[in-house]
Amino acid sequence: MAEKVIAGEKRVFMTGNEVVAWAALAAGAEIMYGYPITPQNEIMHYWTRLAPKYNRKFLQTEDELSAGFTTVGGVMAGKRAFTATAGPGNTLMQEPISMAEAMRLPFVAMIIQRGGPSTGTVIYSQQEVMMTVLGGNGEGLRIVYSTANHQELFDYSIKAFDTAWKYRFPTFVLADGYQGKMREPLTIYDPDDRGIKISDTEPYVGRPGTPGVDRPPGHYRNTYNVEEELYEVLQDHIKDFESIADEVSEYESMASDDAELLVVAHGVVARAAKQATEALRQQGLKVGYFRPITLRPLPSTPLREAVNRAGRMLVVESAYGQLGRLLKEALYGATAEFIPYYKPGVGFTPEEIMARCRELIT
């Protein structure tokens, strides 16, 4: 890997977007392709300031279709390439992501969610869950990490590059503008110093030798003659995806063993949910907390166990049931009571969640 970007462990106070740029550098990302959109702009701003110092590259493209497709090209050239986007940009990027998904390319994107279409609200929502997890014309064979704080933004941005190249599925860090724009303390580090290995890259095109003479040509396609041909390719991909689900899926839970009400949330909302749970526990209320870190694949088994134990779940999210739908699918057949607490496009305070929990428990 290239020279060390971060010497030793460093305590810093940074915005989330800056954290992502440092993480990408530390992970050895070699090129970023991007198109301006709030609230991810500063990822590009920091990247363009830092990248030349470490011999890394950047291309500002004409739109997010291009940002996505150039990222596909960068990856196929064998580079740790990535992009970042949000909202309407994420919508456009679903097309290149579909290509990456169908070809099993280690495409990495940082999604910093904002609200609604067009300009909508430019700072916050959790409305890009379905699109990031299941968007495009494919089967959603993607890995999506939903981060809750800046330390995680750093850790999972690094991890995304490893995951993508290890399993060859498009990999996303899903955050939001609150995380992107807010400053928080965290520790940044060189992954190698902590013994964190990042999978090697390997070119799809331009390998040594003359195709047809020294080696077969790399012929990469998404065109199939008959339905069965596509079906067979997908069978393999689906089998691979299912076989890695347990290894890849991650979650965080607290006080869920004897909980009578389980609060389920992801991303920045999970912080409020966790604080609420802690406070309610101190007051003697049997509330538990469960947070999927990977929204795809979901940590289905531990989720089912926690939900079944509690018998009731309060699903809290800044969208109208996007996490909710994913959970229902994962929990199909479970008898626990499902109580939604949806505020599309709006954040949550711990107090609000506490109040709702108290209503439900007493």
Partner 1 sequence: MAEKPAMPASWRVESKPHKFCPGCGHGIALRALGQAIDELGIQDRTVFGCDIGCSLLAWDFFNVDTIQTHHGRTTPVMVGVKRANPDLICIAYMGDGGGYAIGAQHLVNAASRNDKITAILINNTQYAMTGGQMAPTTMPGQKTETTPYGRDPELTGLPAQGPEMIATITPEGAYVARGTVSKLRQLKKMMVRALKCQMEGRGFSFIEVLSTCPTNWRTNARETWSFLEEKMPQYFQIGEIKIPVSEGDADE
Is 145 among the residues that bind partner 1 (CB under 8 A)?
no
- Asked whether the beta carbons of 105 and 75 are under 8 A apart, the reply is yes
Strand duo 31-34 + 143-146: pairing: unpaired
- How far is 196 from 188, CA to CA, in rounded Å? 13
Report the residue number, 195 or 209, with the smaller CB distance to partner 1. Answer: 209
Taking CB under 8 A as the criterion, the residue among 12, 59, 233, 244 binding partner 1 is 59
Is 118 among the residues that bind partner 1 (CB under 8 A)?
no
Report the residue number, 73 or 345, with the smaller CB distance to partner 1. Answer: 73
Is 91 among the residues that bind partner 1 (CB under 8 A)?
no
Residue 199: half-sphere exposure toward Cβ, Cα within 13 Å: 15
The minimum distance between CB 85 and partner 1, in angstroms, equals: 14
Is 79 among the residues that bind partner 1 (CB under 8 A)?
yes
Is 204 among the residues that bind partner 1 (CB under 8 A)?
yes
Report the residue number, 90 or 253, with the smaller CB distance to partner 1. Answer: 90
Taking CB under 8 A as the criterion, the residue among 12, 50, 77, 254 binding partner 1 is 77
Q: What does the per-residue mask of binding to partner 1 show for 174-203, with x meaning CB under 8 A? A: -----------------------------x
Is 137 among the residues that bind partner 1 (CB under 8 A)?
no
Is 72 among the residues that bind partner 1 (CB under 8 A)?
yes
Query: Alpha carbon of 229 to those of 53, 113, 234, 333: distances in Å?
Result: 47, 36, 9, 34
Report the residue number, 77 or 339, with the smaller CB distance to partner 1. Answer: 77
- How far is 204 from 218, CA to CA, in rounded Å? 7
Q: Is 157 helix (H, G, I), strand (E, B) or coil?
A: helix
Is 85 among the residues that bind partner 1 (CB under 8 A)?
no
Query: Alpha carbon of 319 to those of 62, 114, 275: distances in Å?
Result: 30, 11, 20
Report the residue number, 96 or 324, with the smaller CB distance to partner 1. Answer: 96
For residue 132, the surrounding DSSP H or E stretch is helix 129-134
Report the residue number, 137 or 362, with the smaller CB distance to partner 1. Answer: 137
The minimum distance between CB 137 and partner 1, in angstroms, equals: 11
Is 71 among the residues that bind partner 1 (CB under 8 A)?
yes
Q: What does the per-residue mask of binding to partner 1 show for 211-250, with x meaning CB under 8 A? A: xxx---xxxxxxx---------------------------
Count of chain residues binding partner 1 (CB under 8 A): 43
C-alpha distance across the termini of the chain, in Å: 57
Q: Is 297 helix (H, G, I), strand (E, B) or coil?
A: coil
Report the residue number, 34 or 177, with the smaller CB distance to partner 1. Answer: 34
- How far is 222 from 208, CA to CA, in rounded Å? 24
Q: Is 254 helix (H, G, I), strand (E, B) or coil?
A: strand
Report the residue number, 57 or 281, with the smaller CB distance to partner 1. Answer: 57
Tell me, letter by letter, the H, E, C secondary structure of 298-353: CCHHHHHHHHHHHCEEEEEECCCCHHHHHHHHHCCCCCCEEEEEECCCCCCCHHHH
Touching partner 1, residues 24-43 (CB under 8 A)? 30-31, 33
Is 90 among the residues that bind partner 1 (CB under 8 A)?
no
Q: Could you give the angle at which helices 322-330 and 300-310 cross, rounded to 10 degrees?
A: 90
- How far is 293 from 187, CA to CA, in rounded Å? 20
Report the residue number, 213 or 226, with the smaller CB distance to partner 1. Answer: 213
Report the residue number, 61 or 121, with the smaller CB distance to partner 1. Answer: 61
Is 10 among the residues that bind partner 1 (CB under 8 A)?
no
- How far is 232 from 309, CA to CA, in rounded Å? 39
Is 76 among the residues that bind partner 1 (CB under 8 A)?
yes
The minimum distance between CB 61 and partner 1, in angstroms, equals: 7
Query: Alpha carbon of 269 to those of 41, 103, 148, 341, 347: distances in Å?
Result: 22, 33, 8, 11, 7
Q: Which residues bind partner 1 (CB under 8 A)?
A: 30-31, 33, 57, 59, 61-63, 65-66, 69-79, 81, 95-96, 98-99, 203-207, 209-213, 217-223
